[in-house]
Amino acid sequence: MFPDSMLLGDAREWLRNKLDKGAPCPCCGQRAQQYRRKLNSGMARSLIAMYAIDAHGWIHVPTQIGARSREEGKLAYWGLVEESAVPRDDGGRAGWWRLTDRGRRFALKQLTVPSYALVYNNKVRGFDGPFVDISQTLGAKFSYDELMGR
């Protein structure tokens, strides 16, 4: 495991080396793991729906496309969409998203992206896998076991 006297920098380095399989944080004990998120067909279908509604403007995802895959926000890992910074009156997320230039180009098969984003603490740490175009992602179904590294 790790000694109680471990310095903070050493603890960070120790945890960084364990993120692929997951491990308890040596400082707080919370489980930490890096996830390998696949750009899947639900995400691609949502991106296409957003493009069809308004390729350049803000779209209220819950009401305009019906939050098809519940993973629309994950498209931001690849820089394909961006979320409005304006919160709801209660401080929550408003649900307004728009395609970026990369997102429009991906929708039009003018851009390829890595098939996996490596995500820890909701931040992209890198990318993995072959580069794919949108048509190649349409057959890629979400796999819980693959996400969890099983």
Mean per-residue pLDDT over the chain, rounded = 87
CATH number at residue 112: 1.10.10
What pTM was estimated for this model as a whole? 0.82
Flag whether pLDDT at 91 surpasses 90: no
Residue 3 lies in a domain: no
Question: Is 18 a member of any domain?
Answer: no
Q: Which of 57-71, 75-89, 99-113 has the lowest mean pLDDT?
A: 57-71
- Residue 34 falls inside a structural domain: no
The whole-angstrom separation of Cα 91 and Cα 88 is 5
Domain that holds residue 50: 39-142
Measure the CA–CA gap between 70 and 28, rounded to whole angstroms.
30
Using H for helix, E for strand and C for coil, what is the string for 111-148? Answer: CCEEEEEEEECCEEEEEEEEEECHHHHCCCCCCHHHHC
> Domain for residue 16, yes or no?
no
- Per-residue burial over 30-67, b if 16 or more Cβ lie within 10 Å, else e, is eebebbbbbbbbbbbbbbbbbbeeeeeebbebeebbee
CA dihedral angle for residue 131, residue 135, residue 136, residue 137, rounded to 10 degrees: 90
Is it the case that residue 147 has pLDDT exceeding 70?
no
* CA-closest candidate to residue 140, choices 124, 123, 116: 116
pLDDT for res 89: 75
**Which conformational region is residue 121 in: left (phi greater than 0), alpha (psi within -120 to 50 degrees), or beta?**
left
Is pLDDT above 70 for 113? yes
Which residue has better confidence, 108 or 94? 108
**Residue 24, in any domain of the structure:** no
**Which range in 5-19, 54-68, 73-87, 106-120 is most confidently predicted, on average pLDDT?**
106-120
Please tell me the total count of domains within the chain. 1
Q: Indicate whether 111 belongs to any domain.
A: yes
